[in-house]
Structure 1
Amino acid sequence: MDIRLPGPHARRTRRATVAGVALAGLLPLLAACGGTSSTDAALPGSAGEGPAAQKKDPKLAALLPQKVQDSGELAVAEGDDYPPLVSLGSDNKTLVGMEPELMRAIGQVLGVEVKFSKANFDSIIGGVQSRRYDLAIQAMLDKPERREHVTFVDYFKTSSAILVQEKNAETIGTLADLCGRTAAVENGTAQVDDVEKQAQKCEAAGEPAVEPLVFPDSIGCFQALSTGRADAFVGGTPTVAHQAKQSQGRLRQVGEPYRFLPYGILVNKQDEEMAEAVRQALQKLMDNGAYAEILKRWDVESGALDSATVNGGTPS
């Protein structure tokens, strides 16, 4: 489990705080990054009706743990600050995005109501292991070392990318270009390792190391980038592309995406039947078109998988 200690902003920065930062010319960008009510219109899937309600599959429902069947509820850990995969809606309470919509549809197939709990990214593996949560979905890469702790049901293919201010778009294009610069990364993510390894490479080449700025959430990362405290943000390509699009040219995705791996829904390693129930429910959504419809609503069709797999992540 590749967890790091929290960075300089260890306490959670709420959206109201981010949206209220008095920085001339940056307020629209920070609001877009924070997922406040002003961003609902900007999120591609936030308007209109979602896919049709899914019919319960009794055979799959019977694979769920008895306590889940009895309660009719599935406790799922999720973030709220990684648009377009997940963010808060206009009520500053309801989760919107590809991930919560997909998870609710899976719950319908399994005949249970999905109850989301807010969790920091670096706590969800432990939360699933300890059974604080039945499942977790939070843009976590299905990496071999993580499979030592949890099982993954893969639902989306993705990569990592670099986001910079427009003024740095000509001089930063790869991790190697970050030598002597600062890079914002979210605690517990694979990108923390990427930046730390690049720092070692910089020093080995006789260049100043890249300085990682580790934040507990992506809001801190985007704020640091927007204010110039960080020269770059290294994160998942879907949110990098989304933030670049919403910034009206102030931020740019640079270089080529790297390390293609799927995101996976986290399941306790002992719950093999639960993992199979989730996999088959996801496959049903793929087969009946609901999966494709959800991804299209959130403008992330490029991440569609051909089939639902368990622990299928192979680095490329």
Structure 2
Amino acid sequence: MDIRLPGARARRTKRTAVVGTALAALLPLLAACGGGAAGGEEGPAAGGAAPAAQRKDAKLAALLPKKVRDSGRLVVAEGDDYPPLVSLGEDNKTLVGVEPELMRAIGQVLGVDVKFSTASFDSIIGGVQSRRYDLAIQAMLDKPERRRHVTFVDYFRTSSSLLVQEKDAGAVKSLGDLCGRTAAVEKGTAQVEDVEAQAKKCKAAGKPAAKALVFPDSVGCFQALSTGRATAFVGGTPTVAYQAKQSNGRLRQVGEPYNFLPYGILVNKQDEQLVDAVQQALQKVIDNGAYAKILKRWGVESGAVERATVNGEGAEDGGSAA
């Protein structure tokens, strides 16, 4: 079912309420979820100036669907609470992070504006299938079962990791340590499946099952972790590492990252020319150095890929995990 999140005003009210409670004492990092720089300024993990604007490639622009060419814009589904990949800027409305910067650069190559439409993670596949969105980008792993529904243009190499409070860092090092414990996970993500699979392993070993506490967004996950409802958050390594760093030692990334896969831009399977346009535009951004500058600004250079692949083709050779 394709469900949209509440409007921006409702999301900001929720975010303010969360930061104003116990989270404010334990997790100043959640304030940082909305505290990145507005467009054109350096982000919180920035290591240099913003990349220069991209030149339009007329041949690639011609591959765009007619409705996109006529409107002069790409409608892209995106989240707003998964830093450093995406978060709200200081104005509490501009999207900042790796993904927004990358999509804007791709849009410049294609000669169109990028209009972001905030959507829940578990709605974006259906939204691309139904053409509510031209594209979607939201830290979604390019997995074979998802390729039955959409095509992925891969832009980043990543993995999954565990985040815990400092007091639990000695006891929880891996999924195997979650037996009898609760892990916060975001709805629709691969990490939900990871915790559920671990629960079965726990039972098979005669141990108490692990429990997945599923939330519609990462804000709920971090609130559960901060208040002790969950022992761990299981999520993408870039966000886990970012949150650990922002917490000033109160949170720890534990164990070794696992499940190394690429993140991909979602495209409707029938839009083959759009796939080509996005793939080639991304490759131009990689080749001219703008891609590397974007990743450096947000401190995730280790997830860089050298080639813009489709549906994971050759992704294992494209770079290391963040």
Same fold (TM over 0.5): yes
Q: CA RMSD of the aligned region, Å?
A: 2.2
Q: 1:273 to 1:18 in 2, by over 3 A?
A: same
SS at match of 1:208: coil
Shift of 1:31: 2.2
Shift of 1:20: 1.2
- Return the letter of the residue paired with 2:148: E
Partner of 1:43: 44
Map 1:2-41 to 2 at 5 A.
14-22=14-22, 25-26=25-26, 28-32=28-32, 35-37=33-35
Partner of 1:174: 174
Shift of 1:103: 0.3
Q: Which string of whole-angstrom CA distances, capped at 9 and with x for unpartnered residues, describes residues 232-281 of structure 1?
A: 00000000000000000000000000010000000000000000000000
Task: Tell me the distance in 2 between the aligned counterparts of 1:314 and 1:143.
Answer: 14
- Asked if the contact 2:36/2:96 (under 8 Å) is kept, the reply is no
- Asked if the contact 1:262/1:313 (under 8 Å) is kept, the reply is no
Q: 1:22 to 1:203 in 2, by over 3 A?
A: closer
TM-score w.r.t. structure 2 length? 0.90
Map 1:24-103 to 2 at 5 A.
25-26=25-26, 28-32=28-32, 35-37=33-35, 43-45=44-46, 49-103=49-103
1:250 matched to 2:250? The reply is yes
Task: Tell me the distance in 2 between the aligned counterparts of 1:313 and 1:87.
Answer: 29
Task: Tell me the distance in 2 between the aligned counterparts of 1:200 and 1:208.
Answer: 10
Partner of 1:149: 149
Partner of 1:307: 307
- Return the letter of the residue paired with 2:45: P
SS at match of 2:254: strand
Partner of 1:193: 193
Shift of 1:29: 4.0
Partner of 2:282: 282
1:114 matched to 2:114? The reply is yes
- Return the letter of the residue paired with 1:303: G
SS at match of 1:240: helix
Q: 1:314 to 1:126 in 2, by over 3 A?
A: farther
- Return the letter of the residue paired with 1:61: A
Partner of 1:223: 223
Aligned pair count reads 306
Q: 1:205 to 1:313 in 2, by over 3 A?
A: farther
Task: Tell me the distance in 1 between the aligned counterparts of 2:287 and 2:221.
Answer: 37
1:184 matched to 2:190? The reply is no
- Return the letter of the residue paired with 1:44: A
